[in-house]
Amino acid sequence: MPKLNVVKALNLALLQEMERDEDVLVMGEDVGVDGGVFRVTEDLHRKFGSKRVIDSPLAEAAIIGAGVGMALYGLRPVCEIQFSGFAFQCFHQIENHAARYRMRSQGRFSVPMVIRMPYGGGVRALEHHSESEEQFYAHIPGLKMVIPSGPRNARALLVSAIRDPDPVIFFEHKGLYHAAKEDVPDEIETMPIGRAQLVREGGDLTLIAYGAMLRLAREAAETLAEEDGVQADVIDLLTISPLDRETIVASVQKTGRAVVVHEAPRSFGPGAEIAASIMDGAFLSLEAPIARVASWDVPFPGFAREKANVPDLARVLAAARETLAF
CA atoms in the 13 A half-sphere facing the CB of 145: 25
Strands 232-236 and 53-55: unpaired
Q: Is the dihedral of CA 65, 71, 73, 76 positive or negative?
A: positive
CB of 177 to another protein, least distance (A): 12
Give the C-alpha separation, 249 to 245, whole Å.
Answer: 6
3-state helix, strand and coil shares in percent for the chain, rounded to the nearest 5: 40, 20, 40
Is the CB of 192 or the CB of 302 nearer to another protein?
302
The contact pattern for another protein, residues 67-106, with x = CB under 8 A and - = no contact, is ------------------xx-xx-----------------
Cα-Cα end-to-end distance for the chain? 45
180 sits near another protein (criterion: CB under 8 A): no
Q: Which residues contact 148 (CB under 8 A, 6 or more apart)?
A: 6, 154, 157, 158, 172, 176, 211, 238
The contact pattern for another protein, residues 6-45, with x = CB under 8 A and - = no contact, is -----------------------xx-xxxx-x--------
For another protein, the binding residues in 258-317 under the rule CB under 8 A are 259, 266-267, 284-289, 291-293, 296-299, 301-309, 314-315
* Binder of another protein out of 44, 78, 214, 319 (CB under 8 A): 319
Is the CB of 206 or the CB of 241 nearer to another protein?
206
Please give the single-letter amino acid code of residue 214. Answer: L
Catalytic residue among 129, 173, 178, 262: 129
Q: What's the CA angle centered on 132, arms 323 and 202, to 5 degrees?
A: 30
* Inter-residue contact 251 to 286 (CB < 8 Å): no
Q: Is 128 a catalytic residue?
A: no
CB of 73 to another protein, least distance (A): 22
Give the C-alpha separation, 35 to 278, whole Å.
Answer: 42
CB of 235 to another protein, least distance (A): 18
* Binder of another protein out of 2, 21, 49, 59 (CB under 8 A): 59
CB of 16 to another protein, least distance (A): 24
Question: Where along the sequence are the contacts to another protein (CB under 8 A)?
Answer: 29-30, 32-35, 37, 55-62, 85-86, 88-89, 123-129, 259, 266-267, 284-289, 291-293, 296-299, 301-309, 314-315, 318-319, 322, 325-326
Active site residues: 129
